[in-house]
Amino acid sequence: MKDTLADLYFSELCPNEADNTSQIKNAYRAFDEAGERLESLLADKEKALLHALQDAHGELVAALRYEAFAQGFKTGGRLMLQVLEQE
């Protein structure tokens, strides 16, 4: 069995670098393609607005990923506490 604590300590475990599923890769690809198609239709002023929207979307996704990770970690911790209390 792998030593998760050692992996975490030695930076061999990095949850935010998990392999993306094909569903996630397809969604990213579709998002990028739609953005490129939309950008080709826009004038410079509108392109700046699109880029601002894309940047804000990236920040939102990063924040949501962190919150989901933190919530999952906390839930796992509570589950382990409950398991240990029952022993």
Rg of the chain taking only CA atoms, in angstroms: 20
Instruction: Quote the domain boundaries for residue 74.
Output: 20-85
77 lies in a domain? yes
Overall domain count for the chain: 1
Residue 60 within any structural domain of the chain: yes
Question: Is residue 16 scored above 70 in pLDDT?
Answer: no
Global confidence as pTM: 0.70
Mean pLDDT (the chain) is: 88
Residue 25 lies in a domain: yes
For residue 39, tell me if it sits in a domain: yes
Residue 34 forms part of a structural domain:
yes
Q: Give the pLDDT of residue 19.
A: 67
Confidence of residue 18 (pLDDT cuts 50, 70, 90): low
Are residues 4 and 13 in contact, defined by beta-carbon separation less than 8 angstroms? yes
